[in-house]
């Protein structure tokens, strides 16, 4: 009912913003909750505010914006158009907005908390189904980001991503090998002895972001196990990035793209070096 009212309000003003053609305080007030619901509601209660978020395999453009899927009806058309329009406002989309992956990861976290606090079997089963759907969506988003053309990102956004990694390098490595994680505890951490390999994955991701010539001898793997560990480290860090906590949506999309490509490349090395056994 409340969504119906908001949709009617936006439609009555002629859009694309809540008060009409101009961005106002009303848009700034409503968008934090609505951006979250646009990702969360399809996963938790099956309501879609945006066509692109109806399916698990959400396509992602090079700058991290969701691509509209075909043939999916949206009940709240004015509301949907408003959310899409807000994603084109640079001050919001590049600095304030949480991205689809981060909100999906939040569902993964909260539903695990809820599932662990109930003794009702039917509710536990419902929570488990949501967790599986959210986990699937999160993995699909990361895989899709890895297929982006890294060079298509603006140099500014690639530099911002590299700067964030370099300035927080030690903290990122420590998180990856932590034995006392406080969030996303279902993520498999790496071992203390893998510290250098985690660092290697981060350096390679930054090299790709900055389009620096590959002269790093330490990225040429000596063993398939090392290559597989680097792939695991790159995927782990990509899954831990939170927007806008760590950085804005465009640099986060660039960093995830680079990390997922590092993971794919390292995994290919591992397979080749092991003779197809790993």
Residue 264 lies in a domain: yes
Residue 278 domain-assigned? no
* Number of independent structural domains in the chain: 2
Tell me, yes or no, whether 193 and 264 share the same domain.
yes
**Partner residues linked to 20 by β-bridges:** 17
- Distance between CA atoms of residues 229 and 147, nearest Å: 21
> How confident is residue 54, by pLDDT bands cut at 50, 70 and 90?
very low
Same domain assignment for residues 167 and 140: no
Residues 137 and 9 in one domain: yes
* Sign of the torsion angle spanned by Cα atoms 56, 59, 64, 65: negative
Show the domain range for 193: 149-273
Shared-domain flag, residues 176 and 47: no
pLDDT tens, position by position, 258-268: 999 999 999 98
Q: Which residue has the higher pLDDT, 273 or 96?
A: 96
Please give the backbone phi and psi of residue 48, each rounded to the nearest 5 degrees, phi first: -110, 125
Same domain, 9 and 133: yes
The rounded mean pLDDT for the chain is 86
CATH of the domain at 238: 1.10.490.20
Q: Are 174 and 217 in the same domain?
A: yes
Q: Return all residues near 19 (Cβ < 8 A) that are at least 6 apart.
A: 13, 26, 27
Q: Of 147, 174, 190, which one is at a domain's C-terminal end?
A: 147
Of 147, 169, 193, the last residue of a domain is 147
Q: Measured between alpha carbons, how far is residue 40 from residues 34, 54, 118, 255, 259 in Å?
A: 10, 11, 21, 23, 25
Residue 78 contacts residue 10 (beta carbons within 8 Å): yes
Residues 98 and 229 occupy one common structural domain: no
List Cβ neighbours of 53 (8 Å cut-off, separation of 6 or more).
38, 39, 42, 66, 100
pLDDT in tens, 190-245: 999 999 999 999 999 999 999 988 765 555 677 889 999 999 999 999 999 999 99
Same domain, 81 and 156: no
Query: Does the pLDDT of residue 69 top 60, yes or no?
Result: no
Does 121 fall in a domain? yes
Task: Look at residue 277 in the predicted model and tell me its pLDDT.
Answer: 64
């Amino acid at each position: 009912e409340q969504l119906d009212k908001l949709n009617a309000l936006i439609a009555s003003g002629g859009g694309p913003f809540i008060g009409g053609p101009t961005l106002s305080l009303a848009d700034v007030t409503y968008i934090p909750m609505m951006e979250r619901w646009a990702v969360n509601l399809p996963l938790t209660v099956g309501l879609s505010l945006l066509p692109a978020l109806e399916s698990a395999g959400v396509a992602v453009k090079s700058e991290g914006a969701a691509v509209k899927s075909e043939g999916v009806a949206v009940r709240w058309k004015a509301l949907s158009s408003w959310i899409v329009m807000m994603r084109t406002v640079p001050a919001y989309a590049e600095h304030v907005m949480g991205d689809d992956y981060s909100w999906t990861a939040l569902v993964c976290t909260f539903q695990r908390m809820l599932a662990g606090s109930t003794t009702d079997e039917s509710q536990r089963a419902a929570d488990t189904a949501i967790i599986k759907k959210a986990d699937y969506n999160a993995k699909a988003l990361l895989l899709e980001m890895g297929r982006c053309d890294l060079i298509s990102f603006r140099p500014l956004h690639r530099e911002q991503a590299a700067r964030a990694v370099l300035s927080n390098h030690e903290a990122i490595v420590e998180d990856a090998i932590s034995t006392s994680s406080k969030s996303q505890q279902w993520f498999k951490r790496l071992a203390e002895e893998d510290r250098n390999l985690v660092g290697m994955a981060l350096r390679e991701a930054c090299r790709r972001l900055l389009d620096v010539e590959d002269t790093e001898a330490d990225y040429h793997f000596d063993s398939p196990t090392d290559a597989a560990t680097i792939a695991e480290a790159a995927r782990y860090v990509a899954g831990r990035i939170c927007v806008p906590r760590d950085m804005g949506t465009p640099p986060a999309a660039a960093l995830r793209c680079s990390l997922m490509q590092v993971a794919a490349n390292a995994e290919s090395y591992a397979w080749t070096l092991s003779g197809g056994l790993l």
